[in-house]
């Protein structure tokens, strides 16, 4: 059995832990051979392969990024893309493919599975917005990085009587903002799921200044004000999956708060710092178990499935369960954070 492995979309801590687990179990327990496809779907599309054996996966468990590299290539946007992929898989003697990715990469995997490709998916994204699984790996690391930043910002904000606005990643879902905001003791958390009222935000800011402490506002990059408008800066370009590049809400919010309350405000954009570097123990554990179970699914011929965490069990669910609909922050969970606003 020859198994191809690829990592697609935005990188996240834990990708290497998945690759290592897949390869180590696949070789040791099942006697499989592996082919690494470089740069996400570009690999099988353009036949860019790298050797993938035990030697290649030694020492990579704690390393961020992905030894297979990544891209946001969408083969369904390229004429003849799917046929090219099928041809290249056949040319490399690939019997099954493990695709490690988020909504876009696994969305492609879902369609390819319907077209007869033997594919198994592993869900990753720091945004934690894939359905079907309790958590995706990478999320815990991102939350811890954001929490540490918030902890540090509290003291400098207090020294200067300033408002600090912390912009975190989260295009459609506010999971990073919610979890890091709760863990870091933020005074306001703004998420894409619930458009915010700038007047209410300013009231929270003023209320906080009546204490000895300073306000910390955690905002997802995809959060928007109720009145709409252009508070979220977007670059004109779309990626191959039709996403605009977000960014700018933190600066705009800080300026608006300063103008309205007269308090000095600063914005901190955590950006890709949340995606880089070494994974937490939880993410290494989750990624490793996803990898072990993904190669077991290949052995069982259980294609068209995605690994999912349910409680402490790793289960297999149809790929479409993970990619059909995004997992969003519910009003009930958001209300828990609201208890601490102001
Ligand atoms: O999809 C994960 C994510 O972290 C989003 O929250 C963010 O908008 C995006 O990646 C940015 O990725 P890049 O800068 O690599 O395009």
Where a domain ends, among 237, 254, 276? 276
Distance 12 CA to ligand 1 centre (A): 10
What is the rounded distance in angstroms from the CA atom of residue 131 to the CA atom of residue 258? 38
Measured distance CA(114)–CA(116) in Å, rounded: 5
| Binding-site residue ranges for diphosphate | 10
In a domain, 258, yes or no: yes
Q: Whose CA is nearest to atom 1 of ligand 1?
A: 10
HSE-CB at 80 with a 13 A cutoff on CA atoms is: 4
* Ligand 1 close to Cβ of residue 171 (< 6 A): yes
Do 237 and 121 fall into the same domain? Answer: no
Domain hosting residue 240, numbered range: 141-276
Looking at the structure, do residues 11 and 116 belong to the same domain, yes or no?
yes
Do 169 and 209 reside in the same domain of the chain? yes
Cα-to-centroid distance, 112 and ligand 1 (Å):
24
Distance between CA atoms of residues 67 and 123, nearest Å: 17
Protein residue whose Cα sits closest to atom 13 of ligand 1? 10
Same domain, 152 and 266: yes
pLDDT in tens, the chain (342 residues): 999 999 999 999 999 999 999 999 999 999 999 999 999 999 999 999 999 999 999 999 999 999 999 999 999 999 999 999 999 999 999 999 999 999 999 999 999 999 999 999 999 999 999 999 999 999 999 999 999 999 999 999 999 999 999 999 999 999 999 999 999 999 999 999 999 999 999 999 999 999 999 999 999 999 999 987 656 556 556 777 777 666 689 999 999 999 999 999 999 999 999 999 999 999 999 999 999 999 999 999 999 999 999 999 999 999 999 988 999 999 999 999 999 999
Among the candidates 260, 276, 292, a domain finishes at 276
Is the CB of residue 127 below 6 angstroms from any atom belonging to ligand 1?
yes
Q: How far is the CA of 10 from the centre of ligand 1 (A)?
A: 6
Is 146 in the same domain as 232? yes
| Active-site residue identified among 11, 39, 104, 127 | 127
Report how far residue 278's alpha carbon sits from residue 255's, in angstroms, rounded to the nearest whole number.
34
User: Which pair of structure tokens corresponds to residue 158?
Assistant: 């207090």
pLDDT at 229: 61
Atom of ligand 1 lying closest to residue 125 CA = 2
Tell me the whole-structure pTM to 2 decimals. 0.94
Shortest-distance atom of ligand 1 to CA 11: 15
Where a domain ends, among 217, 250, 276?
276
Bridge-based pairing state of the strands 305-310 and 313-318: antiparallel
Q: Are residues 107 and 74 in the same domain?
A: yes
Whether residue 169 has its Cβ less than 6 Å from ligand 1: yes
- Other C-beta atoms closer than 10 Å to the C-beta of 10 total 19
pLDDT score at 259: 94
Alpha-helical (H) ranges within the chain are 15-28, 42-46, 54-57, 81-91, 103-114, 139-160, 175-184, 198-209, 249-261, 281-299, 319-323, 331-338
Residues 54 and 148 in one domain: no
Please tell me the total count of domains within the chain.
Answer: 2
User: What distance lies between CA 33 and its chain's CA centroid?
Assistant: 29
- Residue 304 lies inside a defined structural domain of this protein: yes
Strand-pair category, 49-51 with 33-37: antiparallel
**Strand-strand pairing, 244-246 and 234-238:** antiparallel
Active site residue 127: yes
The CATH number for 240's domain is: 3.40.50.460
In ligand 1, which atom is closest to the CA atom of 10? 15
Binning the chain into helix, strand and coil, the percentages to the nearest 5 are 40, 20, 40
């Amino acid at each position: 059995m020859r198994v191809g492995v690829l990592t697609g979309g935005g990188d996240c801590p834990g990708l290497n832990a998945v690759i290592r687990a897949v390869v180590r179990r696949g070789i040791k327990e099942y006697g499989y051979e592996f082919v690494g496809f470089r740069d996400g779907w570009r690999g099988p599309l353009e036949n860019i392969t790298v050797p993938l054996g035990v030697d290649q996966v030694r020492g990579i468990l704690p390393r961020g990024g992905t030894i297979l590299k990544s891209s946001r290539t969408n083969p369904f946007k390229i004429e003849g893309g799917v046929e090219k992929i099928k041809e290249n898989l056949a040319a490399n003697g690939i019997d099954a493919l493990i695709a490690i990715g988020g909504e876009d990469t696994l969305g492609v995997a879902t369609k390819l599975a319907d077209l007869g490709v033997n594919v198994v998916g592993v869900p990753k994204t720091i945004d934690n917005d894939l359905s079907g699984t309790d958590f995706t790996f990478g999320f815990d690391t991102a939350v811890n990085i954001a929490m540490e930043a918030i902890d540090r910002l509290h003291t400098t904000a207090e020294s200067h009587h300033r408002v600090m606005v912390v912009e975190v990643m989260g295009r459609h879902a506010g999971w990073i903002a919610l979890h890091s905001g709760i863990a870091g003791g933020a005074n306001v958390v703004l998420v894409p799921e619930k458009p915010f009222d700038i007047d209410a935000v300013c009231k929270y800011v003023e209320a906080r200044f009546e204490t000895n402490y300073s306000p910390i506002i955690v905002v997802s990059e995809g959060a928007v004000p109720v009145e709409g408008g252009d508070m979220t800066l977007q670059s004109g370009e779309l990626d191959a999956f039709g996403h605009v590049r977000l960014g700018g809400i933190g600066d705009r919010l800080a300026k608006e708060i300063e103008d309205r309350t007269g308090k000095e405000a600063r914005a901190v954009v955590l950006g890709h710092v949340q995606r880089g570097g070494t994974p937490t123990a939880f993410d290494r554990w989750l990624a490793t178990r996803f990898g072990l179970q993904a190669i077991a699914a290949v052995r069982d011929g259980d294609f068209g499935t995605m690994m999912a965490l349910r409680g402490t069990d790793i289960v297999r669910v149809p790929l479409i369960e993970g990619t059909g609909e995004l997992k969003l922050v519910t009003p009930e969970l958001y209300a828990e954070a609201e208890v601490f606003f102001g």
